[in-house]
Chain A
Amino acid sequence: EAGVAQSPRYKIIEKRQSVAFWCNPISGHATLYWYQQILGQGPKLLIQFQNNGVVDDSQLPKDRFSAERLKGVDSTLKIQPAKLEDSAVYLCASSLTASDTEAFFGQGTRLTVV
């Protein structure tokens, strides 16, 4: 089966610019996650969707980050305006349901803010 697809793979932007990342989860997976992985650290959950509804966005910096999953399939994560500390790998993951214990991860988007 096809895995979780993310694009772009790499992005370099200047601080205060905006950027968007796209994720296509595994077909039929109701739950979608966005994680932020700063160099040298483990991934940290930013937001969790169940279908097109937000389940958990407690760690999302809502003054600059936004995410949507309008049709309950694809998702986009946006940063506006970007800061230097947003440099990280942004990982998308999906699972069949929220209670499913296995999440499948995409390869991530490496963002560098200069």
Chain B
Amino acid sequence: AQSVTQLDSHVSVSEGTPVLLRCNYSSSYSPSLFWYVQHPNKGLQLLLKYTSAATLVKGINGFEAEFKKSETSFHLTKPSAHMSDAAEYFCVVSRLGGKLIFGQGTELSVKP
């Protein structure tokens, strides 16, 4: 069975400092992994996806994630946080047939 665990329910950073949102996954086969972002009162937006190509995946708005099979991790990073990055972030694994399985979410706060 596929599942994801987001290790932090809330992360707070200062503007201009690095962001690290942690995600571990469990999958019985080579997974497709995603990060989605959800701003208040807005729909979920895809940040980036890993589908067994390059292990370092670059997404929108300066975010990137690295797939590490040995650690079963897919952590999301950004070198420098902006105020506009404050949102809820979801790590997601895809099951065969397209079903998305979401983690519990990590709320990112950015302090000025």
- Chain B nearest CB from A8 CB (Å) reads 14
Chain A residue contacts of B92, Cβ below 8 A? 42
- Cβ-based interface call for B112 (8 A): no
Q: Is the beta-carbon distance between A43 and B104 smaller than 8 angstroms?
A: no
Given A101-B32, A105-B44, A108-B43, do A45 and B99 touch, yes or no (CB 8 Å)? yes
**A107 part of interface (Cβ distance < 8 Å):** yes
Interface size on A, residues (CB 8 A): 28
Contacting residues of chain A (2-25) with chain B, CB-CB under 8 angstroms: 3-4
**Is the CB–CB distance between A106 and B43 below 8 Å?**
yes
* Residue B100 CB within 8 A of the other chain: yes
Q: How large is the interface on B (under 10, 10 to 19, 20 to 34, 35 or more residues)?
A: 20 to 34
- In the bound complex, residues from chain B placing their C-beta under 8 Å from that of A75 are none
Taken residue by residue from 98 to 113, chain A's Cβ proximity to chain B (1 for < 8 Å, 0 otherwise) reads as 1111111111100000
Tell me, in angstroms, the Cα distance from A104 to B98 when the chains sit together: 12
Cβ-based interface call for A44 (8 A):
yes
Q: How far is the CB of B81 from chain A (nearest CB, A)?
A: 22
Interface residues of B, Cβ cutoff 8 Å to A:
32, 34, 36, 41-46, 49, 51, 90, 92, 94, 97-105
A/B interface sample: 14 pairs, CB < 8 A: A31-B98, A40-B105, A42-B102, A45-B99, A45-B100, A45-B101, A56-B97, A98-B98, A99-B97, A100-B98, A101-B32, A102-B49, A107-B42, A108-B43
Q: List residues of A whose CB falls within 8 A of some B CB.
A: 3-4, 31, 33, 40-45, 48, 55-56, 91, 93, 95, 97-108
